[in-house]
Structure 1
Amino acid sequence: MIIQTETVDLTTPTGEMRTYVYRPVAEGKYPTIIFYSEIFQQTAPIARTAAIMAGHGFIVLVPEVFHELNPIGTVLAYDDEGKDKGNQDKWTKPLESHDSDTQAMIDYATQLTYSNGRVGAMGVCIGGHLAYRAALNPKIAAACCLYATDIHSDTLPAEQGNNSFERTPDIKGELMMVWGKQDPHVPNEGRFKIHHKLIDAGVNFTWHEFNAQHAFMRDEGDRYDPELALRVYGMAVDLFKRTLLN
C-alpha cells in the first residue's frame, strides 16, 4: 500500500505539538495508531516504523513527545549527549501532560474525513510506556507496548496516585506487551510486577517475551534483531486490524 506523509501542529494545553502523519494514499476510511517514539523523538528508525504500519492500512500519528522542552523539529542523536538530554526530558515532563497530548491526537484523528473513528496506540521504550498510559483513555481500543520502560519503577513524574502502574485497572482496551528478556531497563522482577498487576486488574492482554535486548526493533545499532522485528510487526498489525477495523 502506497503511503503519503505530512505534518500538523496540534494545540495542546502545554503548547504546539508537531505531529507527523503517515497514511495510505488510496481513498477510504482508516483506523488510527498513535505511535510514541523513544526519548530521541522522530528519528529515522521511528519514521520507518511509522511508514511500515501505515502501509498496512493505518493512519499513523507520531508526536514530538517532548514538544514543550525542545524547539519544533528536534531530533536527538543516538549518542551519550542525546541520551542524556532525552532522559532529562522524560524526568521533567509529567504524565498528565502526556495525557493531554494523547487527547489532542484522539480529537484530531476522529475528525479526519479519512478516519473510521477508531484509535489505538503503539510505542517503543518510553513510547511503550506512553502507549500503556494512552490505554487509560477509554477511546484507545488497543495498545502495543514494546519494551515499555519506567512502568514498574514509577520514575516518571506524576501527581500522587496517578502513576501508570497504579492506574492499570482503568485500562479497558486490549494490550499487547512485548519484552526482551535481556533488557536491563526492565529486569525480570520489573516484568513480573507488571504481569501480576495486569492479571490482578483483569486487563485483557497478551504477554510476549523474547530472547532479545532493549531496542531490538530499532534498525540502527548492534541490538537490532531483523527477524524478530518482522515477527513483532506482524503481531502488531494483527492486533490493530482485529481491534480497530470492527
Structure 2
Amino acid sequence: MQIQATEVDLSTPTGPMRCYVYRPKSDVGTAPKQYPALILYSEIFQQTGPIRRSAQIMAGHGFIVLVPEVFHELNPAGTVLAYDDAGRDKGNADKVAKTLEAHDSDTQAMVDYVRSLPDYAGKLGAMGFCLGGGLAYRAALHPAVLATSCFYATDIHSGMVPSQAGNSSLERTGEIRGELQMVWGKQDPHIPPEGRALVYQRLSAHKVNFTWHEFNGVHAFMRDEGERYDPELQLLGYQLAIGLFKRVLG
C-alpha cells in the first residue's frame, strides 16, 4: 500500500502544534477510502527518522497516522532533537516542563482533527515509544481511543511528567475502557522490574482489558538507529501492534 505525507498545524490551548500526517494514498479522481486512525507519540526527541519510519510502516498497513510534536510549546515548529547527550538533556528538560494536562489538550485537538477527515473511518487508536509510550497510555483515558499499544512506556510508574494532584496516569488507570497492549524490554534500566510490576498491578486491580509482553531487550529496541536496535524484536513489536489495531479498529 502506497502512502502520502502531509503536515498540519493544530490549534491547542498551549499554542500551535505541528503534526505530521501519514495515510494510505488515494487514487486520483476517486472518492477516498476510509481508514481507522492512530496517534503515534514519539520519544523525547520528537519526529526523528526512526519515528517517521514507524509512522510510515503503520500507515502502509491501512491507518491514518498522526505524529504530534510533543513539545510544541517549548521548541520552534519542526524541531528534531539529536540522539546525543545534548538532545537527551534537552528532551528530558522539556519532559518535566510540560504537564500531563497540556498533553491531554493536545490529544483532544488531534481527536477533533481526525474526526474532520473525509477518509477517517471513525475508529481511533494510539501507540508510542518511551515517553510516547507513557503518552499513549495517557491517551487511552480518552473515550475515543479504542486500542493502545505502549512500547517501553516511561514515567507511568515514576510520575516524572508533572500533573495536578490526583491526576497522574497511574492514578487514573481505572478510566481506561479500550484494549491496552504493554510491550517491555526486561533489560531496560528506565523501567525496572518493580516499576513494571506497579503498572501491572494497577491494570489488574482495575480489570483493564490488557495484554502484557516482556522481551529480552534493552530500552529503545524498536529504534532502527544506534546500538540498541534489535531487528527481531522490532518485527515482533510491529506484528503485535498491527494485530491489535487490525482486530479492534478494523
Q: TM-score, length-normalised on structure 1?
A: 0.99
Q: Deviations over 1:105-130 (max 9, x none)?
A: 01100110000011100000000000
- Offset, 1:25: 0.5
Partner residue, 2:106: 101
Q: Report the Cα distance in structure 2 between the residues aligned to 1:50 and 1:3, rounded to whole angstroms.
A: 10
- Quick check: 1:110–1:118 contact (8 Å CA) kept in 2? no
Q: Report the Cα distance in structure 2 between the residues aligned to 1:18 and 1:87, rounded to whole angstroms.
A: 20
Q: Which runs of 4+ in 1 moved over 3 A?
A: none
- Offset, 1:154: 1.2
Task: Please list every run of 5 or more consecutive structure 2 residues that lacks an aligned counterpart in the other structure.
Answer: 27-31
Partner residue, 2:222: 217
Partner residue, 1:56: 61
Partner residue, 2:12: 12
**Which aligned pairs between 1:84-163 and structure 2 lie closer than 5 A?**
84-163=89-168
Does residue 1:3 correspond to 2:3, yes or no?
yes
- Aligned residue for 2:73, secondary structure, equals helix
Q: Report the Cα distance in structure 2 between the residues aligned to 1:111 and 1:6, rounded to whole angstroms.
A: 15
Q: Deviations over 1:4-40 (max 9, x none)?
A: 0000000001000000000000331000000000000
- Offset, 1:236: 0.5
Partner residue, 1:37: 42
Q: Which amino acid aligns with 1:15?
A: G
- Aligned residue for 2:163, secondary structure, equals coil
Q: Which amino acid aligns with 1:50?
A: A
- Quick check: 1:151–1:165 contact (8 Å CA) kept in 2? yes
- Aligned residue for 1:69, secondary structure, equals coil
Partner residue, 2:171: 166
Q: Report the Cα distance in structure 2 between the residues aligned to 1:158 and 1:232, rounded to whole angstroms.
A: 30
- Aligned residue for 1:12, secondary structure, equals coil
Task: Please list every run of 5 or more consecutive structure 1 residues that lacks an aligned counterpart in the other structure.
Answer: none
Alignment RMSD (CA, Å): 0.5
Q: Report the Cα distance in structure 2 between the residues aligned to 1:221 and 1:128, rounded to whole angstroms.
A: 19
Q: Which amino acid aligns with 2:50?
A: P
Does residue 1:66 correspond to 2:78, yes or no?
no
Q: Deviations over 1:161-191 (max 9, x none)?
A: 0000000001001000000000000000000
For these two proteins, the number of residue pairs brought into alignment is 245
Q: Report the Cα distance in structure 2 between the residues aligned to 1:101 and 1:242, rounded to whole angstroms.
A: 26
Report the identity percentage: 66
- Offset, 1:103: 0.5
Q: TM-score, length-normalised on structure 2?
A: 0.97
